[in-house]
Structure 1
Amino acid sequence: MDPLHELTDHIRKEDLILAIRRLTGETEILLSEVVDVKRATSGIEGFTSTVVRVHASYRVRGDSEEHRVSFVAKTAPLEESQMEIVKSCRVFIREGVYFTEIVPLMLKASAGRVELPLPVCYHAVYDGVNDAIYMEDLGAKGFRTPRRTYQLDGLDLDHCIVALKNLGRLHALAFAAERLLPKEKGSILKIFPDLAKDAVIYDRKPGQPQQPYQGMVERGLEVVLMISKQLEGLPKKAEATGILGKVLEGLWPTLKRLIEPRQGGINILTHGDYWLNNIMFRYGVNGVTPVEAKIIDFQVARYCHPAVDVINFMYISTRRPMRDKHFDMLVNEYYNSMVETLSALDQPIPISLVDFKLDLFGVYRTFGVIVSAAFLPLMMLGEDFVPSNADEMTKEKYEDFFKTGCSSLILQRYASDSNYRSKVEVELREFIEVILPDGLDSIESSPLMIS
């Protein structure tokens, strides 16, 4: 089938009409037969969906003037192997509930006092058959994802400040939204049970489809072990003695523990995958300095400590030199934004800055180094893995990603590119320093050995 026709087939006219009604406030919409559909993203941005930009022409009944409108629509992926992931992780249900149930609560809590750092969702279907989410076309308003070179080098300070201020505002709105829910009905997970099971970090039960994320983590750690053999000092010794392999057995249970709601602590509905590819920035006149941002892609939203989002962003979207120099200041930017937003909404402050930093730099740093070690070598491949042309993202590359974590590509790049190699080594050394805080003397002190 022609790729363009295949994309167009994913757009149902009845959904498009409903989206236009919501956008315009008009009820009598007559849709033109001419609908232009093109890919809006490529590569990893579309692993669990096909993201397209839809241009449509319409008239209002009784009016001869024709109008043109554009949306970004997320629909089911084209490959069957991708559909298996969508079904097992229930990503459209999760994002659909977020936009149709949680965002209206945020808007109610805000009452126009704080702008939501999200695209407007005009229509969402998440019935498992016709899954589609129609959103504001941020590209038409000057927003774009950061250039691909940041995947290797990490974001600069200006981008990080804007991104973390936005995250602080989002978390404050999530906290305020939850306080509108009737307490007698229980927690947010009981009111919205579709959010209760984590989308990616869970143990597969008998009869359930293969858990893709766990396999990807395991393949990523195989790469860590192979590279550690070549790194002098603690990494090489830890691998050679078998201590590193032993400690890594506790990695998956640790991830599950860290994303669980914190007993007696602050928990909110978080983004779940906050990193540079899920943020769109609008730039100033120089085209370089970001002045505004919007947060996109809520397919793995999870209910947990907000530190998980912050630490995920810092360890996937930045590199260690940036963290060593600016991490504390950036956490202040995040926290001050959250407090400023909550104050504007007349809401209490749920956690002090001191306690938040204790949680972030203590318990949740482990989450950061894990996701960095498991995924950053892959993310840093850039166009070696994620081509600029979406049509070059073949079925074989998708399968390589989910089955092997692209380990062969990573090791080839590691061997041939000194710049890539040095950046990977810096991140992996930090990972091993954190999971073996007392070196080889005692694995019992490893945060991965806590039951």
Structure 2
Amino acid sequence: MLNGDEPITIQSISLTGGVMGSVDRIRCGDRSFILKGPPDTATAWGSLAATAQSIEREAELYRYLDQRGFGAPKVAPDCYWSVIDAAGGGTVALEDLGTPGDPAAVMAAGLDHAQALAAVRCLARLHAGSMRTGPGRLEVPYPWLYTAESPDLVAAVQLGLADLPGTLTRCWPGMDVRPDLYLDVAGLLRDSHRGSRLAALCHGDAWAANVIFQQHAEAPDGVTAHLIDWQYAMWGNPLSDVALLLWSSLDPWCRRAWQDELLRRYHSELVILTGLDYPLQACLDDLQRAQPAAALVALASVEAYVAGMGPAEHARFRPRMLDAIDCASAMTGRAAR
């Protein structure tokens, strides 16, 4: 893959310092690839990721995408090779599509209009490739996929919510809210998928730093999007990905102003690719079904979202925090502030 006289350099680009698994850019001259390894089991998050076989799941996901063939829409980096070892663990070597920029700045600013449109188009292409309807649609086609009821997925959300009070105190003193104490995490995750009109392979962690954007003159709005970091790939309501993207990665006023347009763009792309009889109202219903759980997952991911942010970026991100807290509080009838 890399062969030549140039020295090989290794640069860590993990957003979590390797806790959820090492992520390194391997470079030789003008050629490079991304190498992902197993999590750090010395931490609570790393231990959970190892127990849940996150790197093995991601390797299986890339193998699945590769099996779709050259005609399938591209939704992720190409996988050059992957290894799942018998003792547990694995390694994945991926095409280097670049990085989403400084994650702290990306999350603080939120997606712009063109990026948001590109992201929902990418999600529609992903979902269209595996869409199921009718009875049995929620039956999981591959054992390596999470479902909304997977114990490891529920445990990950609960662990993130347990971290929330400390993050609030550190980043936004006085914002003392603990929805983790009184929310039915398992029930909210389950209800976000049960009853959806469609089921499909979902990314499961669709937020701005997990999307690579590239300028492309021939793409609609001049931007393409590809998804990275598939540790939480799952089977269920595809609008759960759209809902999480809206709650995590758009300023509240943008989400409210653009939601109808973004949903229409997603719906149009999905129907064109699948030919499904799936009215726009049904798509909206599935989005609304997923929104409470999306707000919950966004709260559980705040520690990752704000990693590296300074005071000015905390202030920029604060309205999104309050919006998610308001949504979580509405589930319990408690005041958010």
Shorter-normalised TM-score: what interval?
0.7 to 0.9
Cα distance, 1:271 vs structure 2? 0.4
- Structure 2 spans left out of the alignment, 5+ residues: none
The aligned runs of 1:64-103 (5 Å cut-off) are 70-77=32-39, 80-81=42-43, 83-100=46-63, 102-103=64-65
| Contact 1:189–1:195 (Cα < 8 Å) also in 2 | no
Cα distance, 1:189 vs structure 2? 5.8
Find out whether 1:194 has 2:120 as its counterpart. no
Find out whether 1:353 has 2:283 as its counterpart. no
| Contact 2:200–2:238 (Cα < 8 Å) also in 1 | yes
| Contact 2:248–2:320 (Cα < 8 Å) also in 1 | no
Cα distance, 1:280 vs structure 2? 0.9
Cα distance, 1:274 vs structure 2? 0.8
Equivalent residue number for residue 265 of structure 2 = 333
| Contact 1:152–1:381 (Cα < 8 Å) also in 2 | no
Equivalent residue number for residue 17 of structure 1 = none
Equivalent residue number for residue 145 of structure 1 = 100
Equivalent residue number for residue 303 of structure 1 = 235
CA distance in 2, matches of 1:423, 1:310: 19
Runs of at least 4 residues of structure 1 off by over 4 A? 30-35, 186-191, 221-231, 437-440
The aligned runs of 1:119-138 (5 Å cut-off) are 119-127=77-85, 128-129=87-88, 131-138=90-97
Equivalent residue number for residue 449 of structure 1 = none
Equivalent residue number for residue 365 of structure 1 = 291
The aligned runs of 1:37-56 (5 Å cut-off) are 37-44=9-16, 46-55=18-27
CA distance in 2, matches of 1:92, 1:365: 28
Higher helix share: 1
- Structure 1 spans left out of the alignment, 5+ residues: 1-19, 21-29, 58-67, 180-185, 203-210, 343-347, 385-412, 444-451
Cα distance, 1:122 vs structure 2? 1.7
Equivalent residue number for residue 266 of structure 1 = 198
CA distance in 1, matches of 2:38, 2:292: 34
- How many matched pairs? 325
Equivalent residue number for residue 389 of structure 1 = none
| Contact 2:182–2:332 (Cα < 8 Å) also in 1 | no
The aligned runs of 1:199-210 (5 Å cut-off) are 200-202=152-154
> Aligned in 2, Cα 1:372/1:290: closer, same or farther, shift over 3 Å?
farther
| Contact 1:35–1:54 (Cα < 8 Å) also in 2 | no
Deviations 1:411-447 (A, max 9, x none): xx5xxx6x7347425642553256427966xx9xxxx
> Aligned in 2, Cα 1:258/1:105: closer, same or farther, shift over 3 Å?
farther
Equivalent residue number for residue 73 of structure 2 = 115
> Aligned in 2, Cα 1:324/1:191: closer, same or farther, shift over 3 Å?
closer
Find out whether 1:220 has 2:164 as its counterpart. yes
Equivalent residue number for residue 249 of structure 1 = 182
Q: Percent identity?
A: 21
Please state whether the residue corresponding to 1:38 is helix, strand or coil. Answer: strand
CA distance in 2, matches of 1:228, 1:99: 38
Amino acid at match of 2:202: T
| Contact 2:158–2:300 (Cα < 8 Å) also in 1 | no
Name which one, 1 or 2, has greater alpha-carbon Rg: 1
| Contact 2:207–2:248 (Cα < 8 Å) also in 1 | yes
| Contact 1:283–1:290 (Cα < 8 Å) also in 2 | yes
Please state whether the residue corresponding to 1:98 is helix, strand or coil. Answer: helix
Cα distance, 1:76 vs structure 2? 2.4
Equivalent residue number for residue 8 of structure 2 = 36
CA distance in 2, matches of 1:131, 1:255: 32
Deviations 1:381-437 (A, max 9, x none): 5345xxxxxxxxxxxxxxxxxxxxxxxxxxxx5xxx6x7347425642553256427
CA distance in 2, matches of 1:271, 1:99: 12
| Contact 1:93–1:126 (Cα < 8 Å) also in 2 | yes
> Aligned in 2, Cα 1:372/1:131: closer, same or farther, shift over 3 Å?
closer
Please state whether the residue corresponding to 2:198 is helix, strand or coil. Answer: coil
Equivalent residue number for residue 292 of structure 1 = 224
CA distance in 1, matches of 2:142, 2:126: 19
> Aligned in 2, Cα 1:434/1:310: closer, same or farther, shift over 3 Å?
same
Find out whether 1:160 has 2:116 as its counterpart. yes
The aligned runs of 1:277-288 (5 Å cut-off) are 277-283=209-215
Find out whether 1:436 has 2:322 as its counterpart. no
Please state whether the residue corresponding to 1:201 is helix, strand or coil. Answer: helix
RMSD: 3.8
Amino acid at match of 1:174: S
Amino acid at match of 1:214: Q
Amino acid at match of 2:96: D
Cα distance, 1:300 vs structure 2? 1.0
1:275 to 188, 191, 207: 207
CA distance in 2, matches of 1:262, 1:319: 28
CA distance in 1, matches of 2:156, 2:196: 31
Cα distance, 1:216 vs structure 2? 2.0
